[in-house]
Each structure stands twice: as structure tokens, then as C-alpha cells.
A and B are shown apart, each in its own frame.
Chain A
């Protein structure tokens, strides 16, 4: 959505959102679509390779994070406000639809 400053994505329209322009918009004005928790449940599989249920050590536990904290953390990595080479790469590979889906899924508490 190169022309619009704000992302208004939800439902079917969400598939139109993504790519570099969306990345910039996420950094300046992070408005996320409504998250699809079923998609988030699938995407969470990637998180589980590293983020376990054990005591938080070098890799923090992410189960049970609120939607807001989760989205803010991923957007922070994506936009370079949080630095971790691996997580920055992960966050760059996620569009607004994916971040919203993950945030919605983790907020369900299904991973707790």
C-alpha cells in the first residue's frame, strides 16, 4: 500500500498488505490488521524451535505475552529498535498480517 500512510488491513484486504512499503509503515505508524489466530498457530511453529517452555535463559519465553507486547517486540526487531541478528531476520520475514496473527495466537494462552 504505497499510497496510504496508515495500514488499514483486515480480513480479505489483508492479503494486499505486505512488502517493503508496509515495512516502512509498520516502523513509523504500526497499525496491524485483526490477527488470524489459526494462521498464528501455524507460524508459532517457527518460534518453538528456539523459544521453549523452560526457565528463561538467553532465549526468553514468549508464551502468554500480551498481543501488544508481542507485536511491539517483533516490530522493534523489524525496525532495528531492538537488536538481535537472528530475531531481526525473523521479524523482517514477517509482514503485518503475520505479526498480527502471531500476536493474536500467543495472546490466546494456547502455548502456556
Chain B
């Protein structure tokens, strides 16, 4: 059994950890969660629910509606409506989470106070950061946030995703959809390729002579053989993937001229989906818990290796072998919530458990998946055991796999946000 660094006290042992922190003058220990996505919403919900009022839980999140990146490619493919991937925070509020719609802009770790963009201040006994990703400035020459309307990333879901869908719909017959794929590590390893699949599905129906051009800095990508097989079957001749060996990493874009240059050769394109290199959401860096682009954490409880009062979840964390996925963030959040409650209230702390499955859709009803279980070691979250869909599977199995992803989406968003308030 992998041991928690604070020591695992099994319930069978009949001993509970003493409350470690109870700042004087506060009736209840305070947990502050920054970011209401896959990691943060789950952590806030589990803290409020399992803590049953013993801790005060506040969630800071600027958006009133969380548009999930997961299934946003299905929206691009015309298979989901935007409302189907949007989730409000009302269920969390009803569940006892104090939801504050604002941005965290500063973290005073010595005083344990977070400052909000609106000017407010929130103190904490434990701080949980799950801010997702930001883009590395200058990662794609010619592209900046100022150009994201001409060349959307659509890698934070919402208006960017709607924009990209509108751009695909407006492509001239026989036009070119280009993607600049990101280098590792980045959120959702199969995400760019599922997106290509969904765009190809739309083009096949509405614009069959259109082409898709992918410039990729990597020599290979997640579920590559499955995607390549599916592309050849469903979209023959439509998709041209230019990997590292052919200069896919040597790119430049010109958002005014709408050109993409790969290894010095410029192509005029109609849509250019630029997905730059990523790093932890900026607040993690501001808090001073990052090393390089990501925030290193202990596998036992997702606590920061820099500050034991801070935990980092999801995409922002450097934790080891788990991919940056919503499933992984949700899994990490439950381990973290259990450990934080144990530290603050003396409730039982159980051994960490981590798992992940990422489903991807290649064409309607043609779903594939990859997944693994993990264990916490002193160094990292380490992969134990995994599985992946195989090429040549029957249509019935692929349909079943797609059905699983639908059920997972419903279950996981309910697990994050609780039942919607109707």
C-alpha cells in the first residue's frame, strides 16, 4: 500500500488524527477553492458534502456557467448543443458551497489571504488551486491572445468554441481547416485529434471537398493508430497530418493574411485553430507554487511541494503519470478533499486512489477509449495498469464505447456540480 505522507490511519485502527489546523477566531476551518472546473468544483462539492458543515467551503470562479471542454468537440461536430455542455453553480451553492464569482489575482501565503479582482479578500486555512491552463506566450510565432478571434484556440470552452464552429460553417467549398497542435504535456492528449475527427464529420456532410491540415510538433500522438484507421475509413483523403519529422513543429502564423507556414512553406487557410503550448493557470504561478510551467505536488494528497497549506489539482499540477484530463482532475479532487477534511477536522483519512479513462469520438457512434489505474508513490502518481481500444473493433463495440462516454459525461458532471436546481 502506498502510504500517505501524513500517515494513513485506517478506519479499522480506530484512531483519528487530531485536527491540525483551527485558526483562532474562526468558528470553522476555512477551505478556499480557486477555479470551479473538473478539479475545483468536485473538491468544493465533496468538502461541503462529506464535511457536513464542519468546514467552511468557498469557491472562487469567474464564470456563471461552466462550459465543459469535455464534449466540446461533439458540439463542434454538431452532435451536442452548447446548452448541453453548460453547467451552473446553483447546485453547489445549494449544497453549502459559498460560490463567489470573481477572479483570484493574488495569494499572500504568509498571511493566508487571497485577493480577488473585485477587491475582496478571503482568508483560508487550506487553499486548493484548480485553475486549469493558460497558454505559453510566444509559443506559436505570430499568434497571441490578441489574435484569438481570427485564429481561435477553443481550448478553453465557451465563446471560443462557438466561434470555431461558426468559422467551420462559413468555410468556402473546398476550403482548408488548419490546426496547430500543441507540444506535450497539454490538456486532453487525444483532444486535438478528436476535434479533427468532429470537424471532418461536419465537412464530410456539408463541404466534402474541403481539406484538413494539421501541423504537429510531436512525432506521434495519443490513440494515433485508432485515429488514423478511423480517418482513413470515415474521411478518406481529407486529413493531412504533418508531424515533427516533416517540420510540423516549425510553424508561424499570420492572422491578418490567414496563412500558416510549416517549415517555411506558407499556405493560405480558411480556418486556423491554433492550440499553443500550455502551462498551469496563471494564479498557480502568482501563488509561487510552480516550478517551470506546472505546480509539483505530492501524490499522497495533491498538496503542493512548495507550500503544505496549498493543494493543486487537475491540469495545473505536475503529479506524474496521469494525463491532464477532466476525469483525472475529478479523481484527484476526491483524494484531496478527503485529506483536507482529515487534516482540518480529524475525520478518517483513507489511502489515495486514482483512475482515468478518456473517451474520444472518431465519427458518430465510433467511440474509442484509453484508461489506467494509478497508485501514489513518494515520487509521483504512478501508472499501474491500463487498457486501450484496439484497431479493427466491431461497430457494435464502438457504439457501446460511445454509449459509455455519454453515461460518463452525465455522471461526472453530476458528481462535479450536484443535481441542477430546476
Interface set, chain B 10-37, CB cutoff 8 A to A: 10-13
CB of A57 within 8 A of CB of B1, answer no
Interchain CB contact (< 8 A) of A49 among B375, B402, B408: B408
Nearest Cβ in chain A — how far from B14, in angstroms? 8
Which of A's residues lie within 8 Å of B, judged by CB?
11-12, 14-15, 18, 36, 38-39, 41-43, 45-46, 48-54, 57-59, 85-86, 88-90, 92-93
Interchain CB contact (< 8 A) of B403 among A15, A57, A85: A57
Interfacial chain A residues near B408, Cβ < 8 Å? 49-50, 59
CB of B411 within 8 A of CB of A93, answer no
Interface set, chain B 330-358, CB cutoff 8 A to A: 330-331, 334, 338, 348, 350, 353, 355, 357
CB of B369 within 8 A of CB of A86, answer yes
Q: Closest residue to A94 on the B side, CB-wise?
A: B353
Which of B's residues lie within 8 Å of A, judged by CB?
1, 10-13, 46, 50, 327, 330-331, 334, 338, 348, 350, 353, 355, 357, 369, 371-373, 375, 384-387, 400-404, 406-408, 410-412, 414-415
Can you list 8 A-B pairs with a CB-CB distance of less than 8 A? A18-B1, A45-B334, A46-B331, A49-B408, A58-B403, A59-B407, A86-B357, A93-B384
* Interface of chain B: mostly helix, strand, loop or mixed: helix
Interfacial chain A residues near B353, Cβ < 8 Å? 43, 46, 93
Asked whether A54 and B348 contact (CB < 8 A) given A45-B334, A93-B384, the answer is no
Q: How far is the CA of A29 from the CA of B313 in the complex (A)?
A: 40
CB of A50 within 8 A of CB of B412, answer yes
CB of A89 within 8 A of CB of B411, answer no
Interfacial chain A residues near B46, Cβ < 8 Å? 45
CB of A14 within 8 A of CB of B415, answer no
Q: Closest residue to B354 on the A side, CB-wise?
A: A46
CB of B385 within 8 A of CB of A93, answer yes
Q: Which 10 residue pairs are nearest across A and B when measured between Cβ atoms?
A: A52-B411, A58-B403, A85-B387, A59-B407, A45-B334, A58-B404, A93-B373, A42-B350, A48-B415, A89-B385
Interchain CB contact (< 8 A) of B355 among A15, A38, A46, A54: A46
CB of B412 within 8 A of CB of A43, answer no
Q: How far is the CA of A40 from the CA of B404 in the complex (A)?
A: 24
Interfacial chain A residues near B338, Cβ < 8 Å? 42
CB of B372 within 8 A of CB of A89, answer yes
Q: How far is the CA of A89 from the CA of B385 in the complex (A)?
A: 6
Interfacial chain B residues near A42, Cβ < 8 Å? 334, 338, 348, 350
Asked whether A14 and B12 contact (CB < 8 A) given A43-B353, A93-B384, the answer is yes
CB of B415 within 8 A of CB of A49, answer yes
CB of B406 within 8 A of CB of A57, answer yes
CB of A49 within 8 A of CB of B412, answer yes
Interfacial chain B residues near A39, Cβ < 8 Å? 10-11, 348, 350
Nearest Cβ in chain B — how far from A92, in angstroms? 6
Interfacial chain A residues near B373, Cβ < 8 Å? 89-90, 92-93
Asked whether A50 and B407 contact (CB < 8 A) given A12-B13, A89-B385, A89-B386, the answer is yes
